[in-house]
Amino acid sequence: MNFSIKIDQKTWQKYMAVHVKGRAALCNPFINKGSAFSSRERNELGLLGLLPAHITRMEDQLQRNYENFQGLASDLEKFKHLEGLHDRNETLFYRFLMDHLEETVPIVYTPTVGEVCQKFSHIYQRARGLYIGYDQKDRIEEILKNFYFQHPAVIVVTDGERILGLGDQGADGMGIPIGKLCLYTLGAGISPYSTLPILLDVGTDNDERRNDPLYLGLRQKRIRGEQYQDFVDAFVEAVDRVFPDVLLQWEDFLKANAIKQLGRFRDKLCTFNDDIQGTGSAFLAFIYKALQDLERPMRENRMLIAGAGAAAHGIAGMMVAALQEEGLSLAESQKHIWMVDSKGLVTTARRNLEAFKATYARDVDEVAGYRCENREKITLAEVIANARPTILVGTSATAGLFDQTVVERMAEMNERPIILPVSNPTSKCECLPQDAIRWSGGRAIVATGSPFDPVEYNGQKYKIGQCNNFFIFPGIGLGVTVGHIRRLTDNMFLAAAKALASKLPAGSTEHGSVSPEIASIREYSHAVACEVIRCAVSEGHADADILVNLEGTVRQAMWYPEYLPVRFEK
């Protein structure tokens, strides 16, 4: 990897020991400081004449990049500018993001990352992470060992089949693991020297991708069935051998595969699915705080979920866990949840229901009492009128699904309806926040998956909250890394939700919504990490020694983007 972080025994200061000189040092983004290399470093690393004469402060480099960033017209152009910086200078890239969090997080991840994935093969500049093709299924371990860092802390892997609400993007889905790991570093200080994005390329059923002459992935239909599972099994076995202590995160897999892989491997290595568990935990943190503000007990709520994908699976599961904590049985808790998909309300009258939907299917006898036009397909608005939910969640990736009738019915049933159109990207959001506020007469508590500007209504400004995984998964990664957690359990995600909720301001729903502040993301991640570690110790998945000065240990482990002195070592 051409460098290592060491401690000067005299001063006890960290420094970077590098093993390359000249242009090789300038081309390595983990080493490169550009014009900020000092005189000593320029002499020692053979950089004389390769840089302009003036030695620049990091602050000046940041200003130069911000001027260029502001001058770009589109979010995609801003993304390409930031990726160029990422490829040149890892430290400066993260410092730039940290200094401009609210402007840059929507660029490096949602909503811009959706467009990035759709155009990935056309804007591709430099490889990052690992691409493991089905045609390389017998060489997976060799590929993993080819990564330039020997001990990654976090792997984010996707097969590109269900990218956000955009569907199958094939190898172009690599934009998701890259962006996700940026947020691990940005949000929780997971060192960029220890993050590994991986794309499992098993082909794509997206004809547009396969027929695109610039497409970078395997140009074949997706491998499915036993062949697919054998490939995934081989990948996991190789990861367990090569990186036995790594945290493996599954990202944007098709719902059936997402649920299957999580169940298959969660007791064999430290792994989780962010679309399921991360989404559920972030959602629950929002609900905890909103209900606290409303002084409404959890057990008095009824939830209607529109959409039955991986996110719905996670949200429903976390809601059930929270209800059980309040003393309800599993069966009673599950009855607090209704689910609507493209065929209407999920009921036991349907044949061949998958296990997840069957769990929340409403009894035929119950539905017989509903007032509706067609009992074979009970609509979203009809379910609201009959079930009288207090919380409406959108994970359908269907823009406009929460229309005026739906929102008005929620407002008729509830003084303060909680409406959460959380599908990403923004173009797939079930309802625009301004419409939810207006149609509810300003009474709805609204949160989305991507950031939205505040809404003006009747002279009042309403903040729009975010049920975004970004407020959960970085802290999970930090907790696993610092606590050497061996397994992740649902209780740890419940603990994470409570930790995040405890950091959110009280009374924030008075005019709008619970709204985590992106500027406070590292404080949230610190709290989440500490609670996850405590939970892991209590369950026997981490050693109790870590609890000594836990908060200080976690904080000290968070990487901060600053230039270290560089020394050449042979």
What are 492-511's pLDDT values in tens digits? 999 999 999 999 877 666 66
pLDDT at 376: 86
Comparing C-alpha atoms, which of 449, 460, 379, 461 is closest to residue 419? Answer: 449
CATH code of 133's domain? 3.40.50.10380
Comparing C-alpha atoms, which of 123, 115, 76, 82 is closest to residue 101? Answer: 82
Q: Are residues 367 and 381 in the same domain?
A: yes
Residue 338 lies in a domain: yes
**Is there a contact between 495 and 479 (Cβ–Cβ < 8 Å)?**
no
**Is there a contact between 284 and 472 (Cβ–Cβ < 8 Å)?**
no
Residue 370 lies in a domain: yes
Q: Are residues 487 and 531 in the same domain?
A: yes
Amino acid making up residue 271: T
Tell me the C-alpha distance between 116 and 124, whole Å.
Answer: 10
Residue 46 in tokens:
């053979």
Place of tokens 């051998």: 241
Residue 204 in tokens:
């794509």
Residue 81 lies in a domain: no
Spatial neighbors of 380 by CB under 8 A, at least 6 apart, are 304, 306, 340, 401, 402, 406
Q: Which position among 78, 180, 463, 503 bears the catalytic label?
A: 180
Tell me the C-alpha distance between 41 and 178, whole Å.
Answer: 31
Residue 541: count of CB within 10 angstroms of its CB: 21
Comparing C-alpha atoms, which of 271, 131, 269, 135 is closest to residue 197? Answer: 131
Q: Are residues 333 and 460 in the same domain?
A: yes
- Domain termination site, one of 427, 447, 467: 467
Pairing mode of beta strands 247-250, 154-158? parallel
**Is there a contact between 349 and 364 (Cβ–Cβ < 8 Å)?**
yes
Residue 528 in tokens:
């989440």
- Domain termination site, one of 437, 452, 467: 467
Is the torsion defined by CA of 181, 182, 188, 193 positive or negative?
positive
Tell me the C-alpha distance between 259 and 250, whole Å.
Answer: 10
Q: What are phi and psi of 565, to 5 degrees?
A: -60, 140
Residue 20, CA distances (Å) to 7, 127, 505 in order: 19, 21, 49
**Edge-to-edge strand list for the sheet holding 344-345:** 344-345, 337-341, 303-306, 391-394, 418-421, 445-448, 465-466
Q: Are residues 128 and 256 in the same domain?
A: yes
**Is there a contact between 204 and 210 (Cβ–Cβ < 8 Å)?**
yes
E strands, 3-53, in order = 3-7, 14-18
Q: Which helix (H) or strand (E) holds 303?
A: strand 303-306
Residue 320 in tokens:
């059930």
Residue 151 in tokens:
């001990």
Comparing C-alpha atoms, which of 451, 483, 520 is closest to residue 188? Answer: 520
Q: Are residues 254 and 299 in the same domain?
A: no
Q: Are residues 183 and 150 in the same domain?
A: yes
Q: Which helix (H) or strand (E) holds 121?
A: helix 120-123
Q: Which position among 109, 131, 288, 360 bears the catalytic label?
A: 109
Residue 446 in tokens:
């609204």
Query: How many domains does the chain fold into?
Result: 3
Place of tokens 């990422």: 86
Q: Which residues of the chain have pLDDT under 70?
A: 1, 507-512
Residue 109: active-site member: yes
Q: Are residues 209 and 348 in the same domain?
A: no
CATH code of 424's domain? 3.40.50.720
Domain of residue 488 covers 473-556
Greatest extent of the chain over all pairs of C-alpha atoms, in Å:
83
pLDDT at 507: 66
Residue 184: active-site member: no
- Domain termination site, one of 448, 467, 486: 467
Amino acid making up residue 420: L
Q: Which residues pair with 341 in a beta bridge?
A: 344
Q: Are residues 136 and 214 in the same domain?
A: yes
Tell me the C-alpha distance between 301 and 290, whole Å.
Answer: 12
